[in-house]
Chains A and B, each alone.
Chain A
Amino acid sequence: MRRQLPIIIVFVSGAFMAIQYFIPHDAGVFFYEYGLDWIIVIGIFAMLLGIWSLFKVQLDKVVKRSPGWGYSVVALGGLFFMLIGGPLWGIEEGTPFMQVFWYIYTPIQATMFSLLAFYIASAAYRAFRARTVLATILLLTAMVIMLRLIPLGPISGSNQKLATWILMVPSMAANRAILIGIGLGIVATCLKIILGIERAYMGHD
């Protein structure tokens, strides 16, 4: 029962949700929306699992005085400030909860992503060295795209036209091939899960 029943649940609920898409009936729409609510609610409780895990890992570091335990205090401080501050002050604009979001969370996230501008350049140097024809194509395309907004004197117009052509023709074709491949891959994986071939989500006994 411990392994068979979950597989039956996945099959029945998965097949029902896939089939109802093709049946235009109010009952189908109700169950579709109710099903979506179900996964949102389950997801909320599952997230608490993650929060507890974060809390436990950081607390263990503090209790055991592990190296860098002070940083765990910072993480726990940030966590509890938001967990207590949200219900206490509300989540409207201007509350301390949202101020922390706009002035602590947002700048750190944006700066972390902007750091990649530096690291991506050094990675590109290693990856793009024109050793093969394919690497050269990659390098040249990236150069044309990166320089398309830079004033390049008499060749600016030509470079912009070339960049637009690359984005609208070969790059679009490549992206479509990749998207179709991803779509077919997702559908195949979903079918494997519904049919009980893929069972990794159940974990181990």
Chain B
Amino acid sequence: MDLGTIIWNTVALFLTLCIFSFLYKDNPFYKFAEHLVVGVSAGYFAIILYFNGFIPKVWEPVTQKGEWWYLLPTILGMMTWARFSKKWSWISRFAIAFYMGIAVGVAIPLEMQQRVIKQLHATMLPVHFTNIQGVWNLLIMLGVLCGLIYFFFSMGHKGVVGGAARLGIWILMIGFGAGFGLTVMGRISLLADRITEIHNWYLMVTKALWGF
């Protein structure tokens, strides 16, 4: 185990304990780690975007392949900086307009395909009473339908629609409960991971210092 690894792991342990110190109350150690991660994450993602976005999408096409038209989005991107000036901030709207137009245009068919049609397709299950799965398929179909009726406010939730909406909110509550339970388990898993990291640091340091 080299010294560099031990130092880096000790830094990670210190920062982990800094964040855990918030369980007591807000304190300078927590604020230190919090501000550090803000600066580091902003710098990290800026550099990753530079190497994985700007270089392959702008620099290489323009300088190596002669695809000059990649300068157009570059100019548009620079137009977003007009936001700094109150007088010229309207220029940034053109860049944002291109961004919005392309993004929403791509999103419409993809969202319909991925979220709506695929989910509806998966819900159209064979309903039968030869075994219990057929009954569960019917329950899934009814659950989806009633859940959607609950979110449908163009009709008053009265009579049959009201009954379906009532069943819908029951189904949704089960979904929210399951979602909450899974979230808690995920956080507990992360917590266990951090505790394991602390234990691993202890083992690493004792081995480096005393050889066991």
Contacts and interface: CB of A to CB of B under 8 A. Distances in A.
Contacts of A169: 136, 139-140, 143
Given A166-B174, A202-B96, A54 B42 contact: yes
Interface in A141-163: 141-146, 149
Contacts, number: 399
Contacts of A46: 77, 80, 95, 99
Interface in A80-138: 80-83, 86-87, 91, 97, 99-118, 120-121, 124, 134, 137-138
Contacts of B170: 134, 137
B147 A86 contact: no
Given A18-B108, A82-B46, A114 B93 contact: no
B143 A79 contact: no
A80 B72 CA distance: 29
Contacts of B57: 37, 40-41, 44
A38 B98 contact: yes
B36 interface: yes
Given A41-B70, A177-B143, A101 B96 contact: no
A201 B18 CA distance: 39
A183 B141 CA distance: 18
A145 B171 contact: no
Contacts of B81: 45, 48-49
A29 interface: no
A82 B109 CA distance: 38
A168 B135 CA distance: 13
- B13, B97, B141, B184: most-surrounded residue (chain A CB, <10 A): B97
A12 interface: yes
Given A44-B77, A51-B46, A108-B37, A103 B11 contact: yes
Contacts of B33: 108
B185 interface: yes
Nearest to A91: B51
Tell me if A's interface is mostly helix, strand, loop or mixed: helix
Give the size range of A's interface with the partner: 35 or more
A173 B106 contact: no
A176 B51 contact: no
B163 interface: no
- A14, A80, A107: most-surrounded residue (chain B CB, <10 A): A107
Interface string A9-48: 1111111111001100000000010011111111111111
B208 interface: no
A19 B100 CA distance: 16
B43 A78 contact: yes
- B9, B44, B180: most-surrounded residue (chain A CB, <10 A): B44
Contacts of B95: 42, 45-46
Contacts of B80: 42, 45-46, 49
B43 A107 contact: no
Interface of B: 8-9, 11-13, 15-16, 18-20, 22-23, 31-51, 53-54, 57-58, 70, 72-74, 76-78, 80-81, 83-84, 89-90, 93-112, 114-116, 119-120, 122-123, 136, 139-144, 146-148, 150-151, 168-185, 187-188, 190-191, 193-194, 197
